[in-house]
Amino acid sequence: MRIQSVEPVELGDVQSAGGKGGSHGSPWSSTIILVKVTTQDGAVGWGEAPTTLMTLPVRESVREVARFYVGRDSHQIQQCFSDFQRYSFYQSVSMEATSALSAVDIACWDLLGKELGAPIHALLGGPVRTRIRAYCNGWYSDCVEPSQWAAKARATAALGFTGLKFDPFGDQFEGLTRDGLRLACERVKAVRDAVPPGVDLLIEHHGRFRVPEAIEAGRALAPFGPLFNEEPVRPDLMYRLPEYRAQVPTPVALGERLLNPAHFAEAISRGCVDYIQPDITNSGGFTSGRKIAGIAEAFGVGVAYHNAFGPIQTAATLHMDAVMPNFLIQESFESGWPTWKRDLTSGYTLENGYFQVPTGPGLGVRVNEKVVEAQTVSGMEPLGREPPWVIGGTWVPPDPHAPGSDAPGHPGRSP
């Protein structure tokens, strides 16, 4: 089968953030980029790319990647992938280029599985598990006071999740004030006291701190027994993580900003990380995903895939989870999705805190093209009062009198 077209499709809340059917989380959670790869005989494969304030650059990068796939045999997944790497001079350090490549790669694997009548996990060697333990993220929107954190944590654990991830640091950035650290500790304690002892806490730092502040925070939160601290220092200070790990007993996790197998090999071999968190939509799709998982396994490092965007990303990630001996736990944002995102696909389930691995051919999901048509938008994510990577209402407390979530003077998007 020869590839006829590679089409990026941006989906989002038609009336921008906070509009009808919108997500209560953050602007990024109401935006996704799908990639539709179609062959000359009409077969369709789907991929997904990340957004987070780079929606338009990624969308346009898909068109550049497409030039290396259109007209080629759809079986030549590795060859097309390698050809783009050869030509794309900045691909190894370009989030946009690698994200676009990843999305197209995922779609090509979806096509291959559909042609062969097999799920992607079968093509990767077969599953070692069919039930995937998930942790919930995005559950703490509009939480400021510790009592609010406790109430939402209790409700989320009641859904069956045995892991909760959250960022307790509010508006702290680079520096960390005494009041900021005190409040973070109070929030984590409130969550710990609100959920059963068997529920793991995963502390998100969002790569925001310098090393001394990160160490101070890590030591202060260690008594609550987190499963890991995620991105405790700024990404450009990753080389100092061995120093951090020597002084903080909690394991370190990172990886959503690493783009290829070599990046993960460097982080692991330098002693920077205990658990890696690749994102299948920006680290090379399945073609690189197999290699990244193998590198981690060789070093005895567990894998907990980053997964913050849409259902095509989730489905692809579940196929990797299924085949990895070194799987740790899987991120889930499903509980906070807008209705349209829930209705976009069918084929995998999340019940009582566990995903069921898709069993249909390819990704094993069916895309509702009526939802695609209805939710197609164009433009960057709208800017609000908070950075787009935080959970809404935790950086700036929610203002019930505000006319909308968009910052004055910042356009949203148009259908």
Q: Is residue 50 part of a domain?
A: yes
Whole-prediction pTM: 0.94
Whether 148 and 190 map to the same domain: the answer is: yes
Question: Residues for the chain: how many in total?
Answer: 415
Cα(392)–Cα(253) distance, rounded to whole angstroms?
23
> Does residue 204 lie within any of the structural domains?
yes
Mean pLDDT of the region 234-240: 97
CATH code for position 57: 3.30.390.10
31 vs 228, which has greater pLDDT?
Answer: 228
**Catalytic positions, please?**
206, 306
Within a domain: 389: no
Half-sphere exposure of 324 (CA within 13 A, CB side): 30
The residues facing 356 across adjacent strands are 131, 349
Encode pLDDT of 1-49 as tens digits. Answer: 899 999 999 999 875 433 334 455 676 778 999 999 999 999 999 999 9
Residues 86 and 151 in one domain: no
pLDDT band at 412 (very low <50, low <70, confident <90, very high): very low
- Identify which of 257, 248, 210 has the alpha carbon closest to the alpha carbon of residue 229: 248
pLDDT at 400: 62
pLDDT at 145 over 50: yes
Q: Verify that 171 and 91 share a domain, yes or no.
A: no
Question: Is a pLDDT exceeding 90 seen at residue 180?
Answer: yes
List pLDDT tens digits, range 50-87: 998 899 999 999 999 999 999 999 999 999 999 999 99
Same domain, 114 and 191: no
Which tens digits make up the pLDDT trace of 318-341? 999 999 999 999 999 999 899 999
**Identity at 336, one-letter amino acid code:** G
Judge if 191 and 316 occupy the same domain: yes
Give residue for tokens 């069993």: 359
Q: What's the total number of domains in the chain?
A: 2
pLDDT confidence of residue 15? 58
How far is Cα 29 from Cα 112, in angstroms, rounded to an integer? Answer: 29
346/234 same-domain check: yes
The distance in angstroms from the start CA to the end CA of the chain is 33
Average pLDDT of every residue of the chain: 93
Report the alpha-carbon distance of residue 230 to residue 243 in Å, rounded. 16
- Mean pLDDT score, 210-222: 98
* Strands annotated E in 161-238: 163-166, 200-204, 228-230
CB atoms within 10 A of CB 5: 13
Cα–Cα dist 151/349, whole Å: 26
Spatial CA neighbour of 232 closest among 242, 401, 66: 242
Strand partners, 165: 202
